[in-house]
Amino acid sequence: MTAQTAEWAHRPRCDQTAAWAMLGQHFRQDGAAFDLRQAFTDDARRFERLSQPAPHVFADLSKNRIDAATEALLLQLARECRVEAHRDAMFAGEPINATEGRAVLHTLLRAPRGAQDGALAAERAEVHATLDAMLAFAETLRADPHITDVVNIGIGGSDLGPQMAVLALDAFAGSGKRLHFVSNVDGHELAAKLKQLQPRSTVFLIASKTFTTIETMTNALSAKRWFEAQTGAEAPVDIARHFIGLTTNVAAARAFGISTTFGFWDWVGGRYSVWSAIGLPLAVTIGAEGFRAFLAGAHAMDEHFRTAPLESNLPVRLGLLDVWYRNFHGFSSRCIAPYHSALRRYPAYLQQLEMESNGKRVDLSGQALGYGTSPVLWGEPGTNGQHAYFQMLHQGTDVVPVEFVAVKKARHDLAGHHPMLLANALAQAQALMQGKVDQGGQKDFPGNRPSTFLLLDDLTPASLGALIALQEHRVFVSGSLWGINSFDQWGVELGKVLAKDIEPRLASGDTNGLDASTAGLLGRIRTI
């Protein structure tokens, strides 16, 4: 145990700190009645004070219900909870994922070659050897004129990250390959996809950290059967050339019949794995150079998180804001509003990142927490959301902080669209805050509804890398304050076990030991 881990291990629980008590008092005195409009009137420099540049991302925090006093107390909370020591322990490769006895080193995946890190030199060398091999393969695939389609079969972190990034960076796609993603065990998804494919011109990437996830294994097996059935009557086709494994479980991939695999390590969590071999679909899309720029953007954010003082550290400020809203204001959800259609899977990606990481109810010693943790994240790209649920955001009874993402530069030349898109993003944030008094009743907007505005100059591999790393670190900060393990996910296990029990009952009709509702539904399903 290093000094950092020892220091963090002896931190107090967040709700037992002096800062927590003072934040409660501050909330009761000033926070509950805080008015954003008044705050801007009182402080002409509020925007400057509460905006924060970070690598590739500019953040305006000024439309949030915080002031200098709130931030000072939140920073005190971070210090009392030893967030810096915890952060340093993560970067140093300490086994901070205690329930699984693992280090948490996704930051190493984007650390440049040759940096000095003594204890992690061996891991770094392996990371770079694998990255070089994976990127060389991506370039070979890009240059292969016989391959037109690449299908990623994976789920959760083995799907959401690469899919989100491939869509986000479509403007940088230079491979001419069609990328597809199949995740759901629902056969409708794979069957529809297979209809569009020719086996000889298709490569399947079987992406699974464990190579045991039932959805991925079922889809992979069906894809393999389809491939064999389609090519069986013709001249033999080398299956190994068309099925590639992205996994830490090379033995299982070999047993499946895969000979080319790209590996990663148990210290890369599934939802943090887009930077590893799991990022191969992105590397095929944007090429090796683009993928290295994606890693470099994330690394720039890592350095910011690792070295910037807490008061000007964007992931820290966002993570603290999340705790302020969740635990003192009682806001239980956050709307993610990317004003860029290429970021359409960004809300789904963030759902796993935040909710699988911080959706925990006990602390590291297994004691129930007396306070809330992960908010519910949800959202759609703007302007679509405006014509669906923004009504509730403006006039509903619940306050939902909104996190906008906008990009200054457009990568199309359709006149007028981009200024209109950006104007809408600004207008929604403004309307949420300012509100409007009309004739009372239906037409009134209460205003004072908080939002954060993240602004990128351009949506590039580097800026996307930085944006995603920012989100990873802000989730780390709130999870650290809450004293939970943000890096395990035991909560997904029970459903998997029960599904295994139920599946054979669908055929046999055996309802022994089932609750009445499950038994009743099973019976009805069997009548079809």
Residue number, 160 or 393, with CB nearest to ligand F6P = 160
- Separation between Cα atoms, residue 335 and residue 449, nearest integer Å: 12
Residues between 80 and 119 with contacts to ligand F6P, criterion CB under 6 A: none
**Residue of 5, 17, 152, 213 interacting with ligand F6P (CB under 6 A):** 213
Cβ distance to ligand F6P smaller for residue 262 or 325: 262
Count the residues of the shown chain that bind ligand F6P, applying the rule CB under 6 A: 14
Which is the catalytic residue, given 94, 123, 215, 356? 356
> Is 496 a residue of the active site?
yes
Q: For the purposes of burial, counting CB atoms within 10 Å of the CB of 490, is it exposed (0-12), middle (13-18) or buried (19 or more)?
A: exposed
Which residue of 64, 175, 208, 261 would you call a contact of ligand F6P, by CB under 6 A? 208
DSSP H or E run through 508: helix 493-508
Could you confirm whether 436 is annotated as catalytic? no
DSSP bridge partners of 438: none
Q: From CA 297, how far away is CA 107, in angstroms rounded?
A: 12
- The answer to whether 356 is a known catalytic residue is yes
Q: What whole-number distance in Å separates Cα of residue 208 and Cα of residue 256?
A: 13
Start-to-end CA distance of the chain, whole Å, equals: 59
Minimum distance between the CB of residue 332 and ligand F6P, rounded to whole angstroms? Answer: 23
Element (H, E) at 262: strand 260-262
Quote the CA–CA distance of 349 and 160 in Å, as a whole number. 5
Q: Is residue 210 close enough to count as binding ligand F6P by CB under 6 A? A: yes
Contacts of 85 (CB under 8 A, 6+ apart): 3, 4, 5, 7, 8, 11
Give the integer Cα–Cα distance in Å for 340 and 169: 11
Position 157 contacts ligand F6P (CB under 6 A): yes
Interatomic CA distance for residues 523 and 528, integer angstroms = 10
* 470, 318 contact by CB (below 8 A): yes
Site for ligand F6P in 327-366 (CB under 6 A): 356
Task: State the binding string over 168-207 for ligand F6P (x if CB under 6 A, else -).
Answer: ----------------------------------------
**Cα(314)–Cα(255) distance, rounded to whole angstroms?**
45
Instruction: Specify whether the CB–CB gap between 162 and 205 falls below 8 A.
Output: no
The distance of closest approach from Cβ of residue 105 to ligand F6P in the complex, given in angstroms and rounded to an integer, is 16
Establish if 17 lies at the interface with ligand F6P (CB under 6 A): no
Position 270 contacts ligand F6P (CB under 6 A):
yes
- Cβ proximity to ligand F6P: between 119 and 255 the closer is 255
Give the integer Cα–Cα distance in Å for 92 and 75. Answer: 23
Judged by CB under 6 A, the residue of 33, 121, 492, 521 near ligand F6P is: 492
Stretch that binds ligand F6P, among 155-163, 329-337, 343-351, 406-414 (CB under 6 A): 155-163
Residue from 59, 77, 135, 155 touching ligand F6P (CB under 6 A): that is 155
Residues that bind ligand F6P (CB under 6 A): 155-158, 208-210, 213, 216, 270-271, 356, 489, 492
Catalytic sites, residue numbers: 356, 387, 496
